[in-house]
Structure formats: C-alpha cells, structure tokens
Amino acid sequence: MKPASFDYHAPPTLAEAVELMARLHEEGVDAKILAGGQSLMPMLAMRVARPEVLVDLGKIKSLDYIREESGAIAIGAMTSKRAAEASALIERQQPLFHAATKLVGHRQIRNRGSVGGSFAHADPASEYPAVALVLDIVFKAVGPEGERTIPAGDFFVTYMTTSLESTEVLTEVRLPVLPAGTGWAIQEFARRNGDLALAGVATTLKLAAGVCADVRLAAFGVNATAVRLTGAEEFLRGKRPDRAVLAQAAAMAANDLDEPMSCVHASADYRRHLIRVLAERCLLEAAARAI
C-alpha cells in the first residue's frame, strides 16, 4: 500500500499551476492535480492512480475563501470542508449545502478535504454533486485558454468524470443563496456514520399559496452520476404537499430511476427501495420547513 514514485510540484500561484499543467500536458507527461488528497491519496496507495507528476494546489492561498457576492456565496476550490462547516454565512444563507458538508466523511476528512476536490472527483455516492444539481451551482475553471463558467447540469459526465479538461483547474464553486421560505432537506443511508452513502436524496421545495411552486429533487449513490428526479418534480407542481401526495411523488421518483448500481453492500432493488423511503422523508422534512 505505498504509492508508486512521482515528481511533486507545489506552485505558489494559480497562474503558475495552470502554466505547469499545460507544459506537462504538451510534453506528454501524465500529471494530476492534488488538493486535500482525501480521495487521491487512497487511489495512489492502491495504485489505481499512477501519475508521473502531482501538482499540489495547497500553497495557492488565493483559492481559499468564502464570500458573499451579489446573491451568491463564492467558495474558493481549496477551501476546506471544515471551513465551510464552520461558516456562519453558509449555515444561514445556504443551509442545504451546510447540511451536506456535515455528512461528508469524518472530521479528519473534512479538515483536509477541499470543497472543490469533491466536485472534481465526482464520486457518484458523494452528497455534493446531488446538491449541485438541486441548487444549480455554477463552477469556475481556469485553463490555458483562460477562465470559463460551467453550470452544474453540464459539469458531471459519468462515474468520476467531469467536463473539466485535464489541464483545467477548478477555482470556484458558486452557490446561490437559498431564497427565504424555501424548504430543504438531505438524507442518506450509509452502513456507518461518515461513510459514503449507499443511497441518498437532496431536495428544495418552494410553496406559493399553499401549493408546490418549484420542487427540486436529486438522488445520489444509485447511478453513475447524481440524477435529478424530474418526473416527481413535475408531478408535485401545483399540488398541496400533504403526506399522501409526497409519498406518491417519492414512489414515482424511485420507479423512474435508471437501473441502480449493485454491489455487495446493496443490490439494485434495495437502492431503489432506499430512494423511495429517503425521498418521502426528505420531501416531508422540506415541506415542514417551507413557508
């Protein structure tokens, strides 16, 4: 369980990191970005990943920030999950993202793991991609051609794959502030506290005159990426969020899923069952919070 050899660079600025990634790419060198290492280090130890060079973003202080900017919360990619968890701004203005952060791993993992790293890593069982789909999070990335913005809907491609180019650095994650009165919830099932989820659901629910005006529902841990459950979302529009209606929507969400993944810990059928149960609980919780 020791990583294979690699060379290591820790550029002090973003510009130098981007230039270095571009140069290594041109030279045909297999280089990988290192952030908090909480996913990449296990992959190196098991030699699932064997890059020739690691480019560590840890020295780039300009990628570590949380600030409010015109109705959004901007988080630098290298901000630790611990800092996001400790941020009163995030807890107040974006409680869904805050609750999701607390579900990620254990304190040792959140101390070192970056906010950006979880999105770039795109683990299908991670909480963050589902929250990105529910909230329409926007990503900023910088590559040799400059900066571009990527909406969540275009960011996650498949299992552990995003639309980031191998030379691009994810620099910022922009969360919209949750509008006052919007209900929200995130629930998951894991074998042990802090483990990656076998299945989970995240939701926001907005009411107007007592009926559902806008519901966002996404599942994680079941398919190759997090998925929006649009059938259930549509079904709820214009309906009163009473228990029977929410249960019907949850059943619809579970039925509509593409065949879930299956492993020794949970069969496809069990995962589908979990999504129904968790979706119902999430919708109830979100409806109770909505005003």
Ligand X SMILES: Cc1cc2nc3c(=O)[nH]c(=O)nc-3n(C[C@H](O)[C@H](O)[C@H](O)COP(=O)(O)OP(=O)(O)OC[C@H]3O[C@@H](n4cnc5c(N)ncnc54)[C@H](O)[C@@H]3O)c2cc1C
Site size for another protein, by CB under 8 A? 31
Phi, psi at 77, each rounded to 5°: -60, -30
Q: How many CB atoms lie within 10 A of CB 178?
A: 20
Q: Which residue do the tokens 């020739």 mark?
A: 52
C-alpha–C-alpha distance, residues 11 and 190, integer Å: 37
Q: Is 264 in the site for another protein (CB under 8 A)?
A: no
Cβ pair 73, 89 in contact under 8 A: yes
Contacts of 36 (CB under 8 A, 6+ apart): 80, 112, 113, 114, 117
Task: State the binding partner of 45 from another protein, ligand X, none, CB within 5 to 8 A by kind.
Answer: another protein
Rank residues 197 and 205 by Cβ distance to ligand X and give the closer one: 197
Q: Is the dihedral of CA 110, 72, 128, 47 positive or negative?
A: negative
117 in contact with ligand X (CB under 6 A) = yes
Q: Does 70 bind another protein (CB under 8 A)?
A: no
| Binding of residue 65 to another protein (CB under 8 A) | no
Residue carrying the six token digits 């398919």:
223
Give the contact letters, 181-210, x = binds to another protein (CB under 8 A), - = no.
-----------xxx----------------
> Rounded to an integer, what distance in angstroms lies between the CA atom of residue 226 and that of residue 157?
10
Minimal distance in Å, beta carbon 140 to ligand X?
10
Position among 3, 37, 144, 176 found at the interface with ligand X (CB under 6 A): 37
Q: Using the rule CB under 8 A, is 107 a contact of another protein?
A: yes
Cα radius of gyration (the chain):
19
Interface residue list for ligand X (CB under 6 A): 32-40, 42, 57, 77, 104-105, 109, 113-114, 116-118, 120-121, 123, 126-128, 164, 169-170, 194, 196
Q: Which residues make up the interface to another protein (CB under 8 A)?
A: 1-8, 10, 34, 37-38, 41-42, 44-46, 54, 56, 58, 82, 105-109, 111-112, 192-194
